[in-house]
Amino acid sequence: MQELIQRLVEAFGPSGKEDQVRDIVRGEIEPYVDEISVSPLGGLHAIVNPGGGTKIMVAAHMDEIGVIISHVDGNGFARFHKIGGVFPQTLVGHRVRFEGDVTGVIGAEASVEIGDAPKLAEAFIDFGASSVAECPVRVGDLGAFTRPFVKLGNRYVAKSLDDRVGVAVAIEAAKRLRNSPNEVQFAFTTQEEVGLRGARTSAYGLDPDVGIALDVTRTGDTPKGIKMAIELGGGPAIKVRDSGSLSDPRVVDLMVRRAEAAHIPYQLEVLQAGTTDATAIQLTRAGVPVGVISIPCRYIHTPSEMVDAGDVENSVKLLVEILKAPVTLDRE
Residue 167 is which amino acid?
V
277 contact, one of Co ion, Zn ion, none, CB 5-8 Å limit per kind: none
Site size with Co ion, rule: CB under 5 A: 1
The dihedral region occupied by 302, where left means phi > 0, alpha psi between -120 and 50, and beta the remainder, is beta
Residues acting as catalytic residues: 192
**Residue 147: CB atoms within 10 Å:** 18
User: To the nearest whole angstrom, how small is the minimum distance from the Cβ of residue 274 to Co ion?
Assistant: 7
Q: Does residue 63 touch Co ion according to CB under 5 A?
A: no
Nearer to Zn ion, 4 or 129 (CB): 4
Q: Residue of minimal CB distance from Zn ion?
A: 163
| Cα–Cα dist 190/66, whole Å | 14
The single residue among 28, 162, 248, 305 that binds Co ion, judged by CB under 5 A, is: 162
Q: Residue of minimal CB distance from Co ion?
A: 162
User: To the nearest whole angstrom, how small is the minimum distance from the Cβ of residue 242 to Co ion?
Assistant: 12
Stretch of 143-151, 155-163, 275-283, 324-332 lying at the interface with Co ion (CB under 5 A): 155-163
User: To the nearest whole angstrom, how small is the minimum distance from the Cβ of residue 278 to Zn ion?
Assistant: 11
Query: Which positions touch Zn ion (CB under 5 A)?
Result: 162-163, 215
Contact (Cβ atoms closer than 8 angstroms) between residue 219 and residue 231: yes
Residues 6+ apart with CB under 8 A from 263: none
Stretch of 23-31, 162-170, 202-210, 322-330 lying at the interface with Co ion (CB under 5 A): 162-170
Nearer to Zn ion, 69 or 292 (CB): 292
Nearer to Co ion, 172 or 277 (CB): 277
Nearer to Zn ion, 163 or 321 (CB): 163
Nearer to Co ion, 162 or 321 (CB): 162
248 contact, one of Zn ion, Co ion, none, CB 5-8 Å limit per kind: none
311 contact, one of Zn ion, Co ion, none, CB 5-8 Å limit per kind: none
For Co ion, the binding residues in 296-325 under the rule CB under 5 A are none
User: To the nearest whole angstrom, how small is the minimum distance from the Cβ of residue 163 to Co ion?
Assistant: 6
User: To the nearest whole angstrom, how small is the minimum distance from the Cβ of residue 216 to Zn ion?
Assistant: 6
Of the candidates 183, 213, 189, 186, the one whose C-alpha atom is nearest the C-alpha of residue 201 is: 189
Stretch of 154-162, 180-188, 253-261, 280-288 lying at the interface with Co ion (CB under 5 A): 154-162
- For Co ion, the binding residues (CB under 5 A) are 162
